[in-house]
Structure 1
Amino acid sequence: MRFLKYSLLALVALMFMGVVAVAGLYIYVKDDLPSVETLKDVRFLTPMQVYTADGKLMSQFGEQRRIPLTLDEIPQSMIDAILATEDSRFYEHRGVDPIGVMRAFWVLVSTGEIREGASTITMQLARNFFLTRERAWMRKVKEAFIALHIEQLLTKDEILELYLNKLELGHRAFGVGAAAQVYYGRDIHQLNLAEIATLAGMPKGPSILNPISNPAASVQRRRVVLFRMLSENYISRAEYDVAYRAPVTARYHVAELELSAPYLAEMVRQEMVDRFGVDEAYNGGYKVYTTVNSEQQLAAEHALRENLHAYDERHGYRGPEMRLWGIDPESLFSDENAQIQKLPDEATLSLMMQNQGEPWAEADIIEYLERQPRFGRLQHAIVTNVQEKTVDIILRGGMKANIEWSEMDWARRYISAERQGNPPQSADAILNPGDHILVRSVEAGYRLAQMPGPSSALVALNPNNGALQSIVGGYSFNHSQFNRATQAKRQVGSSIKPYIYAAALERNFTLATLVNDAPITQWNPGSGSAWRPRNSPEVYDGPIRLREALARSKNVVSVRLIRELGVNPTADYIERFGFDTADVQRNESLSLGAASFTPMEMARGFAVFANGGHLITPYFIERIEDSDGNVVFQSQPDYACARCAAEAAGITFSDDEQSNEEILNDWPQAPRVISEQVAYLVTQALQSAVWGGGSWAHQTGWNGTAWRAQALRNRNLAGKTGTTNDVKDTWFVGYTRDIVAASWVGFDNLEFSLGRTSLNGNLGRQRQPIVGSEAGATTALPGWVTYMETALNQLDDRPFELPPNMISVRIDQPSGRLTNRTDHTSMFEYFIRDTEPKEFVNPERRPQEVFEDDDGLF
C-alpha cells in the first residue's frame, strides 16, 4: 500500500509538473504565437489566369501553381490516402495526438534517434501557414500550441480542406488540385489509385519524393502509402496489388492552354501589374476575361503567318539554318558558306568535328533537334537523304517524314530583296544531306520553310465600342516580344489619305469635285532642289473626281488638297482621329503619309469612318474576377451609339426623355469628332477602292487599289492601302460596320526595303499571283483578306446606313455635274444636302470647273 501511495503521489507530482511545464512553455512562447484568426479567411496564392471572351484559357501568370478545391471536390481516395499516411487519428484528437506523442517519445528513448515527429495534420497546417521547417524543439512547441488554437477555431473538415490546398508538392505545385495537373496533366478526379498514392506520399519530402525528380524514391514512398491505406481498410488487397505494381507515369505538364495568344497575354499582364502591383497580380487568383474571340484570334495568327510565308517564298530561299555533315566544319566560318544562316554552338561543333563530315547517328540528331527553340508553327528538321524530287527528313522526337517536290519547288535562290535566282529543277539544287532546315505542316505533309525576313502586325477592333477582337504583334512571341501592333510607329503612306479627304469634304468639297491629276514640281529655294511628288504607278489622268482619286490613291491629288486646305488646319483635323500631335508632321509630305502611327492607332482612326464619326477608345479587358468569382472590374466602354448598344442589350426606352437619359448614362457616348455625313462619304469612296467603278464593257472601267478584297464577295467592305517610299512599309486598313482591321508588313530594320519579285517559272501565275513591286495591295492586303474570311463569318452583313441630310443625284462621271443620261457615262452620287451640283453638264464643255490655285490647275 505504501508503494502504491508513493507511486500515486509521484504520478500526481509528475502530472502537476507537466501542467506547470506546459503552462510555463505557453507563457514563454505566447507572445510569439501568431493569430490563427486569419485562417477563417484564407486567401491562397493563386496564379492569374487570362481567358478569351468565349472562356478559353490563353495564359497563366504566377510563381505558384494552385487550383483551390473544396473538400467535397476532392476524391475520397485522396482524403483516405492522406489520413492513412499523415494522421490516421485526425478525427479523434484535438490537434495534438497524445498517442502519437508517446509513440514518438518511446522511439526516441529506445533508439536514441528522432524517427517520428508526432505531427498531426493540424500541426502540419500550423507549420505550413505560420512557421518554418526548422528542426528545433521550440518550433515543435509552438506548432502544438498553434494547432490547439486552430482546433478551437475551425472544424475538422475545414482544417483538412486548408491542409490539402496548402500542401507544397514540388515543381511549384501547391495543393493536390494543382499537383494533379503538374504531374499528370489531368483533373484530380481522373487519377488512378497509384497516382493518388504518389501525390499523398510527397508532403514528407516534395523535392526528393516527387516522381519527376526521383522516380525510384517516389515508388518506394507510394508503396508505403498503399500499405497504410490497406492497413486502415481503405483499399482491398486486389487494389493494393494493382497499384503496387503500377509504372511511373508522371511527367511535367505546363498549364493546359486552350489558345496561345502571347502578345495579348502580355498586354493583360502589364495592365494587371499596373492595376494591382506584381505580387497581387501574379498571386491574387484573378481571372481576366478579355474581349478577344478565340476563333478570330486564331484566324489573325494564321493569316499573318501565311502572308509572311507567301512573301518569303516569292523572294527566294536563303538556305539551310546549318549543315551538320557533308562539309568541313572549319569552312563554316568562311565567306564561301555565307548562305548558311547560323554558326554551330560548342556542343554542335564538337559533334561535327567528331564525325568529320560523316552522317550523324540518329540519337545525336534527335538530341540536337531537342535543343532547338520553337518559333510559331515552324519545326526543325534534318535532311537525311535527297532524291531527285523528294527529300527525307527527321523531325523532333525522331519522327521521319519527307518533303515532296510540290512543297519545295518554290525555293529558288534568294539574291536580294530585288532579285531571285533561277527556278530549281531538282531537290539537290536546294538541299543536301545534313542540312538543318525549317519546315511547316501543310495538308500534303511538310513544306520547306524559313523564318520570314520581314515582320508584320494585325489588329482588329469593334468600331462601335473599341473592343479588341484580335491582335498579333509579330510572327512569333518567342522570337521577338516586341508588339508591333501597339509599339511600332511606322510611316503609313497612302493610308493617311482618307483623313485628308475627310478634311476636304468638311470644307465643301464633294465626291464629285474635280481635281487635276497632273505632275507637280515645286522648287525649294532653301535647299536648291525641286520636290516632285509622283503617282504610283506614274500615270496621270487629268481632271478626276475625288471618289475615284481616293479609290485609286492618286498622290498628286492629295498634295493639291492639302495645299488648298492648309498644312496646319489639315494636321489639326487629322489629330481628331486620336493621333498624338508629335506624330503628325506639319508639312506637305503629310499628304503622302510621312506621319508614323501604330497599327492599333490606324485601326482606331478608321473606326471613326466605320461608326459614323465617333472616336472610340480601344480596350481589351472585359472583366476581372477575384479568386471567389466576384467581379472586381467591369469594362464600361464609350459607344459610338449609346442608344443602339442599350437596345441591343435588351433595354426598352419609353417616351419619358428624363428616364431615357438616366438609362443612357450607363452607356457612355464616345465623342463625335467628324460629322456622320462626312464619315459616310469617305466610306463610299473607300468602298470604291475595293469595287472600282466605270464600265468595263465601254472601256471606262477602273479598279481601286484594294480590288483583291473582292475575293471576300462582300459589298459592304471599305478600306485603303498604303505604301511608303522605297516600299519599307505596307498597309491595309479596312472595315465594315462591325469590324475594323489594320494589317502592316515591313522589316524591323528601317534600312531594309520589301523589294520586288519576278515570276517563278516553277509556279506560274496561278501559284504565284503576285509579281512585281511589293506594295500595300500585294503585301499587306492578302493577309487582311485571309483574316476577314473568318471574321466576317461571325458578323452580320449590314450595309452602312444613309445619314440624315443627304441626297443622291445622278451625275455625269467625267464632269461631276448633273445629267439626265442613264447610260455608262452617268452614276448616282451622294452629297450632303445643298452641296450637290446645281447645273447640268454641257456636252460641249466637258470637263468643267476644275479647282485652281495660284500655279494653275489643281
Structure 2
Amino acid sequence: MAKKRKNKNRTKKGYFHLVVIYFTLLCLIAVGIGLGVKSLFNKFAIDLPSPTELVNYEISLPSKVYDCRGKLIHTFAKEKRVLITYDELPQSVIDAIVSTEDVNFYSHFGIDIKGTLRAALKNIRRGSASQGASTLTQQLARNLFLSHERSYIRKLKEAMVTFLIEDEFSKEEIMEIYFNKVYLGDGVYGLGRASKYYFGKALVDLSIGESATLIGMLQRPNYFDPRDRPVRTINRRNTVLWRMYKTGTISKKVYHQEMALPLVCADKETQDLNSYYLYYIGNKLVNKYSKKALYEEGLSIHLSLDWDLSLYADTLLSNQLDKLEEKMGYKIRYSDYEKRVSDIQTPYLQGGLLILDAHSGHVKAMIGGRNFKHSKLNRIMQSRRQVGSAIKPVLYTAALENGYTASTVIRDDTLKIKMWGYDKIPHLEDAPDSLLAIPSYVDSLKKLERKYLYYPKNYSKKVGGYMTLRHALKHSYNVFAMKTMYDIGKKTVSAKSDKFGIKVPPYYSSALGTSELKPIDIITAYTTFPNQGKRVKPIFIEKVFDKHGNLLEEPTTENIQVCEPDVAYLMSDILKSVTKPGGTAGSSFSNKEDYRWESAGKTGTTDDYKDAWFIGMNGKYVCGIWTGFDNYSPIPKDTLGVQFDSLNFKIDGMGHGMGGGSTCAPIASRIMGRLIVNDNNGEIPPANDSRYSFQKPIDVVEVWIDRTTGFRSLKATNRMKEVFTTRFPLPPYQRPGIKYNFPPLYSYDDPNPFIVEELNN
C-alpha cells in the first residue's frame, strides 16, 4: 500500500509540475503580447539575431563538382542539401507537414495559442509532456538561432525570435526556409536532397505516400530510417496519412490506397569511384579558398575529368589486376579484403593510372589505387617508383640533340661498369705473389671486386649485337642505352631530364630508370612528344564559380619548352615502333577493334619485376599506367611467362614475364580507344584523323636507309624509310672500311669495355 501511495504522490506532483510549466508559458506569452516584444527584446538582445541577420540569413550550400561534360558527379557538403523554392513543393508535402506538425500554420502569428492550450490540457490529463505544441516557425527559430537546452529563458527567447521571423517573412518564405534547413537523417539536409537520396526522385515526382514518409521522418530521422527500419517507418507514414485524411487533405479512398502501398527506396548511394581525383582537388580548393568555402559556400567546380572514361578505366584496371592475382597464384589478393574497411595496409597488387591532354594539360582520368577507402595514398601523385625503361625516351631525346639519329648504330654487347670506389679497393693484379698463394685471400678480393662491378643486362638476358637506335628502343635494349649515355655524357642526360620535369642524377644506372620518380612527373614528361617539344603542366580544375556565378579561377595552359618540334617528332616516330608488331607493346595494339589510330609509347620494367609501366600516346593524349606492390616487393618469380590477350585477358601463351608490355599495355589500348570515342560523342572517327596523329614539322624528311648498317641506301633490298631532321646532317652513304653508321664521337667498339662510374663526373 505504501508503494501505491508513493506512486499516487508522484502522479500528483507530475500534474502539478505540468500545470506550472504551461501556466508559466501562457503567462510569458501574455506578458509578451501585453508589454510588447520590444521591451523583452531589449533585455535579451545580446543573444538574439537582429532583423538584418534574419533577412540575410543564409543556409550553408554544398559545392557541386561537374565533369568535363557538365555532369554533376560529386558534392562537397557540410550538410548534404539541394535548395528548393516554395513553388517547387508538391501540395502533398505541404498538406502532410501542416496536418502533422502545425494545423493552424497559415492562421497563427508564430505561436499557436489554441494548440498550446490543447496540448497542455492533454499532457495534464496524461501526467506527461508527450504532446508537443511547437509551430513550424518555433521549430525554425530553434534550429536557426537557438540551442536545444530546456529552460524557461530559452523558451522565452524562442518565442521572441518566432515573432521576429513572422514579422520579417511570409508564410511561404517560412516554409521554404524550413524545408531547406530541416534534417532528415544520414547527413541529409533539406527536403530537396532527401527526396533524391531516399527515393531517387525530384520533389515534384513524389507520391503522396512518399511525401508522408519524409514528413513522418522529421520527428526522429534516424529512428524512422526507411532503409534500416522499414516497418516502423511504414507505421509512421500511415500515421501521417491518417492525419491528412482527418484534416480533409486526402480522401478516404486515397488514404487506404497509400496505406496499402509498400515502402520502396532507391539504392543507397555508394562512394565515388574517382575518390582519388576528388580528394586531390578537394585539398587544392581548401588550400586556395578555405574549408568553409568548399563545404558551405556553394562553389561550382568544373573539372577536366571525363567521368565515363574514368569509370571505364577503373573497371579495366581493377579487372586486370584481379586476373593477374588469380593467374599468378598470389597468396594475398585484393578479394581477401572487405571493400568497405578503411585505412588499412594493402599488401595486395596495386595499380594507378593518369590520362591527360598533351596540348591543354587537362587531366581526363587519375586513379591512385585500387580502393580509396583501403588506402588514401595516391600512388600517381605521391609515390616515388623506379621507372625502368620508361626513362629511355628522355635519354634518346638528349642523344638526338647531340649527333644521334634513328639510324645510329651501336653494338649491344656485354658491358661492365666500375662503380664509384672501385679504384680505392685492393685488386688481384696489385697483390704480391705471397698473398695470391692464399686461396681465401684471393676469394675475398674477388668478392670485394664484384661488389664494385655492375653488369647491365637486357630484359631478354641476351645481347643484341649491332643495331640502330630505333631497333634498340623498340625492343628496349639496356646496354645500348647505357653506352649512349656514356657517349653523350651523364651530365648532358641529367640536364635534359630537368627540362622534362624530372630529376635524374648523373649516374650510368639512370639510363635504365633506377631513379625513383613520381608517376605523374614521368607520365607528364611524355606530353613533350605530341606537343611540339613542349611539356604541359597538368590541369585538374578547368573553372571555379562562386554561388552567384562569378568566375573565381580558370587556369590557362602552361608549356615548358623541352626540345625543338623536329626532335619531338623524331622521338614520337621512333616510339611508334614500340606499339607496332614486334615491339614490346605491339600485341596490345594489334586489335583494331580496340584501337585503330596512330599510337606510340614505351614499356618499363624494373629489377625483379618490382614495377611495371606503360606510357602510351597519340597526337593528342598521353596515358600512363603503373602496377606493383606498395612495399616494393618483387613480383614473385613464379609469375614469369604469362601473357594476356588485349581483349579478354585470357592466357595467350608463355612470355618473358610480368613486364609493362604484358601487365599495363593490354588495357592501355582499350582505354585510349574509349577516350577517342568519348572525344567524339560516341562516334568512331577514321583511323587517319589528324587530331590523333603526330604532326610532322616542315624540316623533317624521310630517307631510305639500310636496316643493318644504318647508312643511306640506294639498294632495293633490306632497306626502310627513316625520319630525319634537316637541321642536322643526314646519315651518309656507306663508305669503304666503315661497316656501320656509328655516332660521331663513337670510339669504343670493344665488345667488353670497362666504363668508370665516378660520383662527380
**Alignment TM-score, normalising by the size of structure 1:** 0.72
Does 1:455 pair with 2:334? no
Task: State the AA in 2 paired with 1:80.
Answer: D
Does 1:776 pair with 2:660? yes
Structure 1 counterpart SS, 2:164: helix
Following the alignment from structure 1 to structure 2, what is the Cα–Cα distance between the partners of residues 17 and 474? 63
The equivalences for 1:180-191 within 5 A come to 180-191=195-206
Structure 2 counterpart SS, 1:122: helix
Does 1:810 pair with 2:694? no
Following the alignment from structure 1 to structure 2, what is the Cα–Cα distance between the partners of residues 274 and 511? 46
Task: State the AA in 1 paired with 2:85.
Answer: T
Indicate if the aligned counterparts of 1:756 and 1:773 stay in contact, CA closer than 8 A: no
Indicate if the aligned counterparts of 2:642 and 2:651 stay in contact, CA closer than 8 A: no
Post-superposition CA distance 1:447-503 (Å, at most 9, x none): xxxx99422212111111111111222233333332222222111111111111101
Q: Show the counterpart of 1:305.
A: 318
Q: Residue 752 of structure 1: which of 634, 645, 661 is its match? A: 634
Does 1:592 pair with 2:487? no
Number of residues of Structure 1 aligned to a counterpart in Structure 2: 675
Q: Show the counterpart of 2:26.
A: none
Q: Residue 304 of structure 2: which of 283, 287, 291 is its match? A: 291
Q: Show the counterpart of 2:103.
A: 88
Structure 2 counterpart SS, 1:768: strand
Displacement after TM superposition at 1:79 (Å) = 0.9
Post-superposition CA distance 1:166-212 (Å, at most 9, x none): 11233322222233234434333333222212322333444545556
Indicate if the aligned counterparts of 1:516 and 1:850 stay in contact, CA closer than 8 A: no
The equivalences for 1:642-661 within 5 A come to none
Following the alignment from structure 2 to structure 1, what is the Cα–Cα distance between the partners of residues 512 and 471? 17
Post-superposition CA distance 1:107-165 (Å, at most 9, x none): 67888865655433222211110112333333232222222222232222111100111
Post-superposition CA distance 1:562-597 (Å, at most 9, x none): 112221221011111112x4xx22211111111122
Following the alignment from structure 1 to structure 2, what is the Cα–Cα distance between the partners of residues 111 and 837? 104
Indicate if the aligned counterparts of 2:137 and 2:162 stay in contact, CA closer than 8 A: yes
Q: Show the counterpart of 1:548.
A: 471
| CA 634–751 in structure 1, closer or farther in 2 if over 3 Å, else same | same
Shifted more, 313-322 versus 241-250: the winner is 313-322
Indicate if the aligned counterparts of 1:58 and 1:261 stay in contact, CA closer than 8 A: no
Q: Show the counterpart of 1:446.
A: none
Q: Show the counterpart of 1:837.
A: 730
Structure 2, gaps ≥5 residues long: 1-28, 426-448, 680-684, 754-761
Displacement after TM superposition at 1:93 (Å) = 3.2
| CA 456–755 in structure 1, closer or farther in 2 if over 3 Å, else same | farther
Displacement after TM superposition at 1:509 (Å) = 1.9
Following the alignment from structure 2 to structure 1, what is the Cα–Cα distance between the partners of residues 126 and 323? 76
Structure 1 counterpart SS, 2:217: coil
Structure 1, gaps ≥5 residues long: 1-13, 323-340, 343-371, 377-450, 639-668, 693-702
Displacement after TM superposition at 1:737 (Å) = 0.9
| CA 136–211 in structure 1, closer or farther in 2 if over 3 Å, else same | farther
Post-superposition CA distance 1:299-337 (Å, at most 9, x none): 311221232233223323649999xxxxxxxxxxxxxxx
Indicate if the aligned counterparts of 1:87 and 1:120 stay in contact, CA closer than 8 A: yes
Displacement after TM superposition at 1:72 (Å) = 1.5
Following the alignment from structure 1 to structure 2, what is the Cα–Cα distance between the partners of residues 824 and 313? 48
The equivalences for 1:511-660 within 5 A come to 511-523=406-418, 524-526=422-424, 528=449, 529-579=452-502, 581=503, 584-627=504-547, 630=549, 632-638=551-557
Q: Residue 675 of structure 2: which of 791, 816, 820 is its match? A: 791
Structure 2 counterpart SS, 1:610: coil
Q: Residue 199 of structure 1: which of 214, 239, 244 is its match? A: 214
Post-superposition CA distance 1:651-673 (Å, at most 9, x none): xxxxxxxxxxxxxxxxxx52322
Task: State the AA in 1 paired with 2:43.
Answer: Y
Task: State the AA in 2 paired with 1:617.
Answer: K
Indicate if the aligned counterparts of 1:84 and 1:232 stay in contact, CA closer than 8 A: yes
| CA 514–261 in structure 1, closer or farther in 2 if over 3 Å, else same | same
Q: Show the counterpart of 2:577.
A: 688
| CA 137–214 in structure 1, closer or farther in 2 if over 3 Å, else same | farther
Structure 2 counterpart SS, 1:684: helix
Does 1:140 pair with 2:38? no
Q: Show the counterpart of 1:350.
A: none
Following the alignment from structure 1 to structure 2, what is the Cα–Cα distance between the partners of residues 206 and 530? 71
| CA 204–495 in structure 1, closer or farther in 2 if over 3 Å, else same | closer
Structure 2 counterpart SS, 1:198: helix
Post-superposition CA distance 1:718-775 (Å, at most 9, x none): 11111112221111111001110111122222232343547799x9x98433434222
Shifted more, 570-579 versus 204-213: the winner is 204-213
Q: Show the counterpart of 2:22.
A: none
Does 1:29 pair with 2:44? yes
Structure 1 counterpart SS, 2:625: strand
Post-superposition CA distance 1:12-32 (Å, at most 9, x none): xx9999623766534422333
Displacement after TM superposition at 1:507 (Å) = 1.6
Structure 2 counterpart SS, 1:43: coil
Following the alignment from structure 1 to structure 2, what is the Cα–Cα distance between the partners of residues 537 and 264? 37
Q: Show the counterpart of 1:705.
A: 584
Indicate if the aligned counterparts of 2:487 and 2:745 stay in contact, CA closer than 8 A: no
Displacement after TM superposition at 1:98 (Å) = 4.3
Following the alignment from structure 1 to structure 2, what is the Cα–Cα distance between the partners of residues 209 and 727? 54
The equivalences for 1:220-235 within 5 A come to 220-235=235-250
Does 1:828 pair with 2:726? no
Indicate if the aligned counterparts of 2:577 and 2:600 stay in contact, CA closer than 8 A: yes
Q: Show the counterpart of 1:243.
A: 258
Post-superposition CA distance 1:58-102 (Å, at most 9, x none): 444445332221112121110111122222332333333444455
| CA 17–715 in structure 1, closer or farther in 2 if over 3 Å, else same | closer
Indicate if the aligned counterparts of 1:52 and 1:294 stay in contact, CA closer than 8 A: yes
Following the alignment from structure 2 to structure 1, what is the Cα–Cα distance between the partners of residues 423 and 95? 92
Q: Show the counterpart of 2:694.
A: 800
Indicate if the aligned counterparts of 1:756 and 1:771 stay in contact, CA closer than 8 A: no
Following the alignment from structure 2 to structure 1, what is the Cα–Cα distance between the partners of residues 32 and 460? 104
Q: Show the counterpart of 1:678.
A: 567
Q: Show the counterpart of 1:45.
A: 60
Indicate if the aligned counterparts of 2:322 and 2:334 stay in contact, CA closer than 8 A: no
What RMSD in Å do the two structures reach over aligned CA positions? Answer: 3.5
Indicate if the aligned counterparts of 1:466 and 1:618 stay in contact, CA closer than 8 A: yes
Q: Show the counterpart of 2:170.
A: 155
Q: Residue 602 of structure 2: which of 697, 700, 720 is its match? A: 720
Q: Show the counterpart of 2:142.
A: 127
Indicate if the aligned counterparts of 1:728 and 1:754 stay in contact, CA closer than 8 A: no
Following the alignment from structure 2 to structure 1, what is the Cα–Cα distance between the partners of residues 341 and 467? 48
Q: Show the counterpart of 2:739.
A: 846
Q: Show the counterpart of 1:316.
A: 329
Q: Show the counterpart of 1:429.
A: none
Following the alignment from structure 2 to structure 1, what is the Cα–Cα distance between the partners of residues 510 and 131? 81
Structure 2 counterpart SS, 1:671: strand
Task: State the AA in 2 paired with 1:753.
Answer: I
Task: State the AA in 1 paired with 2:707.
Answer: Q
Post-superposition CA distance 1:675-727 (Å, at most 9, x none): 111101111110122226xxxxxxxxxx3322224314446211111111222
Following the alignment from structure 1 to structure 2, what is the Cα–Cα distance between the partners of residues 26 and 111? 35
Q: Show the counterpart of 1:79.
A: 94
| CA 534–225 in structure 1, closer or farther in 2 if over 3 Å, else same | closer
Following the alignment from structure 1 to structure 2, what is the Cα–Cα distance between the partners of residues 76 and 160? 12
